[in-house]
Amino acid sequence: MFPPPHKERLFKNRNRLKASREVESVDLPNCHLIKGIEAGSEDIDILPNGLAFFSVGLKCPGLHSFAPDKPGGILMMDLKEENPRALELRISRGFNLASFNPHGISTFIDSDNTVYLFVVNHPEFKNTVEIFKFEEEENSLLHLKTIKHELLPSVNDIIAVGPAHFYATNDHYFSDPFLKYLETYLNLHWTNVVYYSPDEVKVVAEGFDSANGINISPDKKYIYVADILAHEIHVLEKHPNMNLTQFKVLKLDTLVDNLSIDPSSGDILVGCHPNGQKLFVYDPNNPPSSEVLRIQNILSEKPTVTTVYANNGSVLQGSSVASVYDRKLLIGTLYHRALYCQL
């Protein structure tokens, strides 16, 4: 007997969400929750000088929020300080702060040492990419440009490769909420990676279930893409014309969200959701768990995958990113707190 098609699909979708998975705790000794982050820090990017940027307060239709009426923002923390604190960066006048809804972020340092911060933004649940210039003396962001494009219908994450140049993931093919739901339910594998520059915008990789986190290898030769519902990290070779070709796929047993690079080793740190069902159907008595993986030698035949941190939701719910700088680890979440650990 075969199950009826919808039952089979439900079973497959439960597996995509890892709906029955529980985690064993893997604790780190020197950790504390970061004061001032209560409603998510979906993405984190750290500059080579130890300044960390946090994207906070993301809201999505159907997703839980602990601060539904508060706009999102960008926080900064100086990891060179003894006891670093998270401070909100001021944003230049003229930028619509009330509808600011930041998602994936990426920094780019130009040859003249100008620091640009790229932010995926969902004002009124639309899709834009905002480019800011970071003014370190004033602890502020100067808004330079808003980018909208038909090839960016459902942007999730971004990796900057120039002052106005980036790769971005679309986690859905459609922008309409009902069509998004249908597309995910039917498992269409229509999501993609787009390259954007002022001169050219193009799809450079496609066929993902739900393309999510994106980053670049230290030698700039490879792009890494997390496919969250397929539980995979794709390694794509980058060509001089900015096109990408598939190099390899690493299969994991968890929903992989954002990818960060450890600058000291080139390892990939992955913020993961062990159980997507708990993440999307929020129950305070059975909260989503957290998991951080470290991937060493991803280009080799057998990469080493280790669990750096895991928690059942009692401390940290819904980890989406982990970034490291000089033996300090930051773990952000989709809609909960953030953790600072000394390794």
Residue-wise burial string across 180-219, b where 16 or more C-beta atoms lie within 10 A, e elsewhere: beebbeeeebbbbbbbbeeeeeeebbeebbbbbbbbbbee
Which pLDDT belongs to residue 234? 98
Annotated binding site: 42-43, 105, 156-157, 212, 257-258
Q: Which residue has the higher pLDDT, 62 or 259?
A: 259
Q: Which pLDDT value is given to residue 4?
A: 44
pLDDT exceeds cutoff 70 at 113: yes
SS3 track for 248-272: EEEECCCEEEEEEECCCCCCEEEEE
DSSP notation for 192-236: EEEEE-SS-EEEEEEEESSEEEEEE-TTSSEEEEEETTTTEEEEE
Point out the catalytic residue in the list 32, 64, 103, 273.
103
Mean pLDDT of the chain: 94
Q: Check pLDDT > 80 for residue 205.
A: yes
Q: Is 165 a catalytic residue?
A: no
Phi, then psi, of 166 in degrees rounded to 5: -160, 160
Residue range 41-86, pLDDT digits in tens: 999 999 999 999 999 999 998 889 999 999 999 999 999 999 999 9
Question: What number of other Cβ atoms are within 10 A of residue 316's Cβ?
Answer: 25
Residue 7 pLDDT greater than 80, yes or no: no
Torsion of CA 179, 181, 185, 186, to 10 degrees: 10
pLDDT reported for residue 328: 97
Which residues on adjacent β-strands are paired with residue 341? 31, 329
Does residue 2 surpass a pLDDT of 50?
no
Nearest-angstrom CA–CA distance, 66 and 286: 16
Residue 307 has a pLDDT of 97
| pLDDT for res 185 | 82
Rg (CA), the chain: 19
pLDDT at residue 236 tops 50: yes
What are the pLDDT digits (tens) for 120-171? 999 999 999 999 999 999 999 999 999 999 999 999 999 999 999 999 999 9
pLDDT for 9 equals 67
How many angstroms separate the CA atoms of 9 and 165, rounded?
A: 39
Annotated binding site for Ca(2+): 42-43, 105, 156-157, 212, 257-258
| Whole-angstrom distance, CA of residue 270 vs CA of residue 307 | 10
302 pLDDT exceeds 50?
Answer: yes
How far apart CA 270 and CA 291 sit, in angstroms, is 8
pLDDT at 1: 44
What domains can be seen in the chain, in order of their start residue? Answer: 5-342 (2.120.10.30)
